[in-house]
């Protein structure tokens, strides 16, 4: 089983590229954002808690996200692997993922990181807010908080996966097709 982590700042194009990656490599896309949005839409207690945190630009507690991911690993059949999008976001989550996979003698295959400059993050997220109507993308201060959170808590994962020899950086500037070809070349 393959376990890919799709990594990069908010607005880097992870959601845009994930579908093609899933199709080409027969992967199950596990987007913590989509999992949480479905909980929010269903109005579950987890969804209501997550909604208030997300709207403030904060992250949902680790144990909640880890439980959702582990459950999906166990219940998903007929795929060659998983594409994790939005998890892990911290060193603690990466260590939890390693421990989770070790239970079944598996490990992370690679961390595929789509990188773009901060100015482009603001531009892309503003556009996404208009197109998708995502309230969590509409306020500049929330977007800036997400960028600051990414730099402080998520960027340390670059060194974590480099140390494991599993970090693969993709230049996320260019057309969707150009970025996709870079990703495929790296994954192949």
pTM reported for the whole predicted model = 0.82
Q: Do residues 7 and 13 lie in contact, with contact meaning Cβ atoms separated by under 8 Å? A: no
Q: Of 51, 124, 146, 182, which one is the catalytic site residue?
A: 146
Q: At a CB cut-off of 8 Å and minimum separation 6, what does 62 contact?
A: 90, 92, 93, 96
Domain ranges of the chain: 2-187
Q: Is 37 part of the annotated catalytic residue set?
A: no
Angle CA 138–93–168, to nearest 5: 80
- 81-85, strands of its sheet edge to edge: 27-31, 81-85, 2-7, 110-115, 167-171
* Residue for token pair 């500049």: 140
Q: What is the mean pLDDT of residues 161-180?
A: 96
Q: Of 2, 37, 72, 134, which one is the catalytic site residue?
A: 134
Angle subtended by helix axes 91-102 and 156-163, to nearest 10: 40
What pairing do the DSSP bridges indicate for beta strands 81-85 and 2-7? parallel
Q: What would the pLDDT profile of 15-39 be if each residue is shown by its tens digit?
A: 889 999 999 999 999 988 788 777 7
Q: What is the mean pLDDT of residues 160-175?
A: 96
**CATH number at 2-187:** 3.40.50.300
Q: Is 182 part of the annotated catalytic residue set?
A: no
Q: Is 168 part of the annotated catalytic residue set?
A: no
Q: What would the pLDDT profile of 110-150 be if each residue is shown by its tens digit?
A: 999 999 998 898 888 877 777 777 666 667 788 888 888 88
């Amino acid at each position: 089983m393959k376990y890919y982590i799709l990594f990069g700042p908010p607005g880097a194009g992870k959601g845009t590229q994930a579908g093609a990656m899933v199709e080409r490599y027969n992967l199950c896309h596990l987007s913590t954002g989509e999992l949480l949005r479905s909980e929010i839409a269903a109005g579950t207690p987890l969804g209501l808690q997550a909604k208030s945190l997300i709207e403030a630009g904060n992250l949902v507690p680790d144990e909640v996200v880890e439980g959702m991911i582990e459950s999906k690993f166990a219940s998903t059949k007929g795929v060659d692997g998983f594409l994790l999008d939005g998890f892990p976001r911290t060193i603690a989550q990466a260590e939890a993922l390693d421990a989770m996979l070790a239970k079944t003698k598996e490990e992370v295959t690679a961390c595929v990181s789509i990188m773009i400059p901060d100015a482009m993050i603001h531009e892309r997220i503003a556009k996404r807010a208009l197109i998708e109507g995502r309230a969590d993308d509409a306020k500049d201060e929330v977007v800036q908080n997400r960028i600051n959170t990414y730099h402080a808590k998520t960027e340390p994962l670059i060194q974590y996966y480099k140390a494991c020899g599993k970090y693969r950086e993709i230049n996320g500037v260019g057309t969707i097709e150009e970025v996709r070809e870079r990703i495929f070349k790296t994954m192949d």
